[in-house]
Structure 1
Amino acid sequence: MPITQTTSAKKSKPIILMTMGQQDRNQHPYQVMTHKYMQPIVEIAGAIPLLMPTCFGIEDVDRYLDMVDGVYLSGAGSNIDPSLYGQENLTPEKSQDVNRDTVDLAIIAGALKRKLPILGICRGMQELNIALGGTLYQKVYSEPGFDDHREDPQTPNHVQYGPRHPIKTVPGSWLAKLIGDKTMVNSLHGQGICTLGKGLEALAYGEDGLIEAIHGPDYGQFILGVQWHPEWQANDNPDSIKLFQAFGSACRGEVSWQSANDAKLTA
């Protein structure tokens, strides 16, 4: 993704919308957002996170979107309700967060309409795919030919989030120009993209063929979804720094970039 600074670029910090998720603690429902997701938005993207609770429905989604310069869909421990992509639930043991599903799908629709930059990580990438009509493998680890991409919960965080497997970016794509043809990523997910949503294209694959990154070259805005977790210790990872810098630049209106189809889009 070649980045070109423009003289008309905004100088102020952009505001980036993030949604919180439900978590029960001591018999009380909490709305939470993990520090590790916010940190690179502040420290690398140079932006201000605006947190939206998802427990009050979608009535105020437009008000939130009117206040922001970009949308950041984080990961989470919950799975997306499979009824949203026409399937029965094959992982009843995993938690779900229907309120987050409802709000995030509405946010994605509004962000696409407003041409706001969108960055989705892990569950966030999957939400983007579902919002545009795609489907998921609910159990990648049970699908023939695919590896087990889940983390070992018995290991410490630095092991869970350590480099796990290589990915290959699509040759000639802006992501390949940004982070190279091949790089190592972490892997902490049981689900993954099966069929791509409307207007989405793959930007990177794992060695087993699973889609690891997507974009939306036909939508005229910065759209990036990654299946790994670049937010983990992002300041120590050159690829993560480039990804969050690119997102921050797009949210400031500074970035001109080429899609995989060589269709020039200006965020």
Structure 2
Amino acid sequence: MNQPLVAVSTDVRQFDNYTWHAAPQQYLDAAISVADVFPLLVPSFGERLDLESLLARVDGVMVTGSKSNVHPSLYGAEATEADGPYDEARDSTTLPLIRMAIERGVPLLAICRGIQELNVALGGTLASEIQEQEGRLDHRAPVSDDQNERFAIRQPVSIKPGSCLAGIFGAGEVMVNSVHRQAVDRLGDRLQVEAVAQDGTVEAVSVINARAFAVGVQWHPEYWAKSDDASARVFKAFGDAARDHAAARGGRLAAAE
């Protein structure tokens, strides 16, 4: 079977006197090498894009992490410089893309910023600078120029029994590389908690009664997907869901001919 096409979110960045729509290589590499899918970058042009047509042609959606944060106005909060940087062009693209993917039953994997976009897209809110809240751990990366150190697997999360992730990992704890300063606050409509950190921070969610795989994780499985079994399992499950969708879509197209 040919590799399923998977739509991938992009950040809007300014450098070399150009405006770029880009995604980090780790996500694309994990998609190709571990999920065995073909990543297709979606430019962040918001309502100028025909997302319905896109979703009729792809077999998955992956929403990546990013340095930027979802704009607070999208969940009823006041935007401050401290909560930035922002990427409103990305927001205008990913939030409707997430909602449409869920409604169409297109497999969805949302990572780091992605889980926050998923939560906001479904009506939830975000908490900022959670390391400053009483009883919360510091989930930020250590200060280092070494990316391997910054993204080291160091934090246990508890997988909810009977959840989608329990089917991937089994119930109990799994070690992850969670690196963030914002987190899910009020849970969005149709979402359920899949995993939590030791301090109760939501580390994974899934869409209730989703027609296909629809999971968000706050950690970074893309970084070690080729060497860490737990990280690989997330991408393999997503890839399997994309292949199932491709097979079903191919069957529907054949029946319509």
Query: Shared topology, TM-score over 0.5?
Result: yes
Instruction: Check the 8 A contact 2:108/2:213 in 1, yes or no.
Output: yes
In structure 1, the partner of 2:241 is: 250
- Give the corresponding residue for 1:169: 159
Q: Which shows bigger deviation, 244-253 or 61-70?
A: 61-70
Provide the TM-score with structure 1 as the length reference: 0.87
The answer (yes or no) to whether the contact 1:58–1:106 under 8 Å persists in 2 is no
TM superposition shift of 1:91: 4.5
Preserved contact between residue 22 and residue 31 of structure 1 (Cα < 8 Å): yes
- Partners in 2 of 1:221 and 1:56 — Cα distance? 24
Of stretches 145-154 and 125-134 in structure 1, the one that deviates more from structure 2 is: 145-154
Once the two structures are superposed, the pairs formed by residues 71-90 of structure 1 within 5 Å of their partners are 71-90=61-80
Tell me if structure 1 keeps the 8 A contact 2:204–2:218: yes
What displacement does 1:173 show? Answer: 2.3
Superposed displacement of residue 55, structure 1: 3.6
Q: What's the offset of the Cα at 1:62?
A: 2.0
Which sits farther off after the overlay, 92-101 or 225-234? Answer: 92-101
In the TM superposition, 1:5-84 aligns within 5 A as 11-55=1-45, 57-84=47-74
Partner of 1:226: 217
CA distance in 2, matches of 1:173, 1:107: 24
SS in 2 for 1:134: coil
Measure, in 1, the Cα distance between the counterparts of 2:150 and 2:204.
20
- Find the aligned partners of 1:90 and 1:140 in 2 and give their Cα distance: 16
Mapped partners of 1:97, 1:254: distance in 2: 30
Counterpart mapping for 1:251-266 below 5 A: 251-253=242-244
Cα separation, partners in 2 of 1:26 and 1:93, compared to 1, 3 Å: farther
Tell me if structure 1 keeps the 8 A contact 2:46–2:92: no
Unpaired runs of 5+ residues, structure 2, are 247-257
Selected match of 1:216 from 207, 228, 233:
207
Deviation at 1:58, TM superposition (A): 3.8
Ranges in structure 1 where 5+ consecutive residues have no aligned partner:
1-10, 256-267
Structure 1 Cα separation of the partners of residues 48 and 124 of structure 2: 22
Cα distance in structure 1, aligned partners of 2:143 and 2:79 = 22
Following the alignment from structure 1 to structure 2, what is the Cα–Cα distance between the partners of residues 173 and 109? Answer: 21
Deviations 1:79-118 (A, max 9, x none): 1001100001245362110000010011112112211010
TM-score scaled by length of structure 2: 0.90
1:123 matched residue in structure 2: 113
Deviation sequence 1:16-63 (CA, Å, 0-9, x none)? 000211111134221111110111111111111111110464432222
Segment of structure 1 superposing worse, 153-162 or 95-104: 153-162
1:148 lines up with 2:138 in the alignment: yes
- In structure 2, give the amino acid aligned to 1:24: Q
Could you tell me how far apart the structure 2 residues matched to 1:184 and 1:32 are? 29
Could you tell me whether the CA contact under 8 Å between 1:120 and 1:224 is conserved in 2? Answer: yes
Q: Is the 8 A contact 1:57 1:99 kept in 2?
A: no
Q: Which deviates further from its counterpart, 80-89 or 24-33?
A: 24-33
The percentage of aligned residue pairs carrying the same residue is 36
Q: Give the partner amino acid of 2:14.
A: D
| Secondary structure in structure 1 of the residue aligned to 2:82 | coil
Q: Distance in 1 between matches of 2:93 and 2:174?
A: 33
Question: Structure 2 CA distance, aligned partners of 1:99 and 1:221?
Answer: 27
SS at match of 2:114: helix
Q: Secondary structure at the match of 2:74?
A: helix
* Cα contact 1:45–1:248 (8 A) shared by 2: yes
- The structure with the greater share of residues assigned to helix is 2
Question: Secondary structure of 2:86's match?
Answer: coil
